[in-house]
């Protein structure tokens, strides 16, 4: 076991990070090659590639205190106190920042910069992992830029974003870039079997359906409701026979994505609320009376959960559209006679039916309609309006 076990299908990136962790040890000891280490890193890769996992694993490797490293072992043993506490989120010198809302503002970023300026309490590295650096507002990004331009000694910034274009040019020019790829289906299936105990056949289906997105694959493999909602979304291409069916299909897609988002939000919200109630000294039992003076904290949590629900709703709808575009890519593959398994292999008869009833040109127009819907949602077009326009285009295509 090591901290790198969960970095799936990223062999070249792991090699570079291991070399950097060795160089970091040389920086601390004052002996050896230190060229592999730098103070700011930018992890990029498509959703599900594991960029945040890679960043957290690197943070653990930098804090690894295993004596085996002195003998040339790989940094990041996974067992020592430094690795363990960094991975579970309790290391005093590793601050992991993730946002449940749509943006990270100036106030939160200034607090990060303040923490980064402190000396590491354990004498190694002060590490700040920003999992959603693409959600920094312009003002927040400028605050962060100042900290990266003038780094404190032994402070390391690990920024994560979907692509290099999602970071300000002035920030990315000061970071060492790591590009992660979408993990192979076989690698995702293997980790589901090995780590989560999923049946191999189910793991392979989920990995293929999720197109290498590890978190999505795990959910599909373990949640029957999630699989059912995916099936409802992918039934849309067969239901757009007339205008009424297009509008009904749009509403159905919105409802399916909304139900998925609600399930995800409720699971997290319930746990958070009970944990906060317990921390504030609520009376025993669900819904027990709260002590005086705690209403403000509960209200703040409720407001944050509402903001997170907005992001979750958008993310799940976007995921549904990605599934829909994968269906039409499979249609196009059959129309051009491509061999091999499909992303929607479990729905091959439906894919075949759509392929036989349309032309490649029409399929390309349908794919563009789905991508256009995603762009419209990014511009905050009303979701139902955007999806209705898409379903009408799917029929006309």
Model confidence over 74-98: pLDDT tens digits? 788 888 889 989 988 889 899 888 7
Quote the CATH superfamily of domain 11-179: P-loop containing nucleotide triphosphate hydrolases (3.40.50.300)
Beta sheet of 126-130, edge-to-edge order? 94-97, 126-130, 155-161, 40-44, 176-179
Average pLDDT over residues 166-177: 90
Please tell me the distance from the alpha carbon of residue 316 to that of residue 383, in angstroms, as a whole number: 12
Sole residue written with tokens 């354990």 = 122
| pLDDT tens digits along 96-114 | 887 766 678 888 888 888 8
Q: What are phi and psi of 181, to 5 degrees?
A: -105, 165
| 104: three-class secondary structure by DSSP | strand
Confidence of residue 72 (pLDDT cuts 50, 70, 90): low
Please tell me the distance from the alpha carbon of residue 183 to that of residue 142, in angstroms, as a whole number: 33
Q: What are the C-alpha distances in Å from 308 to residues 1, 51, 249, 376?
A: 34, 21, 26, 20
Q: What are phi and psi of 126, to 5 degrees?
A: -95, 115
pLDDT for 284 beyond 50: no
Q: Could you tell me the two tokens for 144?
A: 């962060």
Average pLDDT over residues 194-203: 92
Average pLDDT over residues 194-216: 90
Q: Which residues of 145-180 are buried (b: 16+ CB within 10 A; e: fewer)?
A: bebbeebeebbbbbbbbbeeebbbeebbebbeebeb
Q: Which residue has the higher pLDDT, 124 or 178?
A: 178
Average pLDDT over residues 368-382: 93
Q: Indicate the average pLDDT of the chain.
A: 86
Please tell me the distance from the alpha carbon of residue 335 to that of residue 140, in angstroms, as a whole number: 48
Sole residue written with tokens 């309790």 = 90
Q: What are the C-alpha distances in Å from 194 to residues 5, 91, 183?
A: 11, 27, 16
Query: Which residues on adjacent β-strands are paired with residue 44?
Result: 161, 179
Q: What phi-psi label fits residue 123: left (phi over 0), alpha (psi between -120 and 50 degrees) or beta?
A: left
Average pLDDT over residues 376-385: 91
Summarize the chain as % helix, strand, coil (round to 5): 60, 5, 30
Q: Could you tell me the two tokens for 164?
A: 């290099």
Query: Which residues on adjacent β-strands are paired with residue 176?
Result: 41
Q: Which residue blocks in 96-162 are alpha helix, DSSP H?
A: 106-116, 138-149
Q: Could you tell me the two tokens for 111?
A: 């607090």
| pLDDT tens digits along 217-250 | 998 999 998 899 899 899 999 998 899 999 999 9
Query: Which residues on adjacent β-strands are paired with residue 127?
Result: 94, 156
Extract the runs of DSSP E, i.e. beta strands, from 22-111: 40-44, 94-97
């Amino acid at each position: 076991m090591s901290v790198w076990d969960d970095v799936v299908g990223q062999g070249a990136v792991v090699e570079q990070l291991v070399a950097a962790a060795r160089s970091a040890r040389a920086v601390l000891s004052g002996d050896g090659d230190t060229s592999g280490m730098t103070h700011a890193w930018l992890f990029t890769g498509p959703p599900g590639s594991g960029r945040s996992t890679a960043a957290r694993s690197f943070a653990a490797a930098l804090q690894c205190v295993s004596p085996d490293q002195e003998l040339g072992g790989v940094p990041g043993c996974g067992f020592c106190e430094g690795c363990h506490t960094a991975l579970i989120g309790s290391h005093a010198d590793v601050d992991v920042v993730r946002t449940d809302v749509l943006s990270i503002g100036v106030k939160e970023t200034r607090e990060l910069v303040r923490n980064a300026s402190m000396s590491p309490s354990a004498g190694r590295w002060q590490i700040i992992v920003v999992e959603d650096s693409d959600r920094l507002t312009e003002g927040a990004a400028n605050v962060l830029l100042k900290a990266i331009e003038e780094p404190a000694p032994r402070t390391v910034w690990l920024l994560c974003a979907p692509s290099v274009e999602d970071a300000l040019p002035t920030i990315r020019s000061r970071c060492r870039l790591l590009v992660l790829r979408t993990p192979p289906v076989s690698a995702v299936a293997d980790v589901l079997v090995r780590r989560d105990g999923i049946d191999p056949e189910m793991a392979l289906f989920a990995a293929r359906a999720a197109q290498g997105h590890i978190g999505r694959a795990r959910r599909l493999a373990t949640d029957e409701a999630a699989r059912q909602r995916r099936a409802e979304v992918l039934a849309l291409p067969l239901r757009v026979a007339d205008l009424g069916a297009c509008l009904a299909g749009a509403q159905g897609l919105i409802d399916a994505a909304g139900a998925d988002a609600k399930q995800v939000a409720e699971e997290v919200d319930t746990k958070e609320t009970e944990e906060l109630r317990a921390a504030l000294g609520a009376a025993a039992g669900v819904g027990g009376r709260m002590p005086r003076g705690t209403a403000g904290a509960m209200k703040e949590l409720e407001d944050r959960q509402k903001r997170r629900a907005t992001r979750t709703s958008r993310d799940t709808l976007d995921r549904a559209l990605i599934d829909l575009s994968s269906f039409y890519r499979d249609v196009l593959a059959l129309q051009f006679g491509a061999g091999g398994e499909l992303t929607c292999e479990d729905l091959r008869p439906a894919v075949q039916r759509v392929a036989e009833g349309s032309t490649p040109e029409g399929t390309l127009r349908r794919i563009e309609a789905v991508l256009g819907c995603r762009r419209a949602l990014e511009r905050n077009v009303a979701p139902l309006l955007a999806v209705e326009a898409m379903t009408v285009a799917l029929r006309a295509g």
